[in-house]
Each structure stands twice: as structure tokens, then as C-alpha cells.
Amino acid sequence: MNWLDQLVSTGGIAYVAMLFIAAEVLLIAFVLRARDQLKELSLTIVSGFFLICAAGAALTGAGSVFVAVWFIAAMIAHIADMTIRLTRSKSRSR
């Protein structure tokens, strides 16, 4: 498990997760050709990306300010995502 300890302690695990998000975006956009759905998912993707940035900052000892900034950015993206989704679903039900 030495490689896993090193991957986590260096923050490399966050980079691996970021690569998965990038692959997911490419898959949705180019393989599935679902660009409209990608637009709808963009804030969800961004908030998840920011959470991974927060985790990476925490794992590498970047300092509490950097961790907090990433968490706040994720929260703002999440709130925007929820607001858009709830507003859209409310207008569809009318």
C-alpha cells in the first residue's frame, strides 16, 4: 500500500480524480455527442471539481485559506446549480 499512501499524501489522488472528470466531460461531449446535457451538467461538474481542489489543497498542506476558498467556490457553484434546476423544474410544472 506504499503507492497509495504516497498518492494520497502528495495530493496526487486529487489529480487522478481531476483526470477522471476531464475524461467524463470528453466522453459526454465527443463520444456520446450530448453537448446539450453537458451544458446542463456544467455547474455540477464545476462544483465537484472545486471539491476535489479543496481536497487536494488539504492533502498537500496548502493552508486553511486555500482549502476554504475552494470549498466556498464549490458551495457557490452548487447553490447556482440547485437554483437553476429548481427554477427550471418549477417553470416546467406550470
Residue 31, CA atoms < 13 Å, CB-side half-sphere: 6
Q: pTM of the predicted model, to two decimals?
A: 0.87
94 pLDDT higher than 70: no
pLDDT tens figures, 34-93: 888 888 899 999 999 999 999 999 999 999 999 999 999 999 999 999 999 999 877 777
Alpha-carbon distances, residue 48 vs 2, 90, 91 (angstroms): 27, 25, 26
Alpha-carbon distances, residue 38 vs 3, 55, 62, 77 (angstroms): 34, 24, 31, 15
Longest dimension (CA), the chain: 57
pLDDT tens figures, 21-30: 999 999 998 8
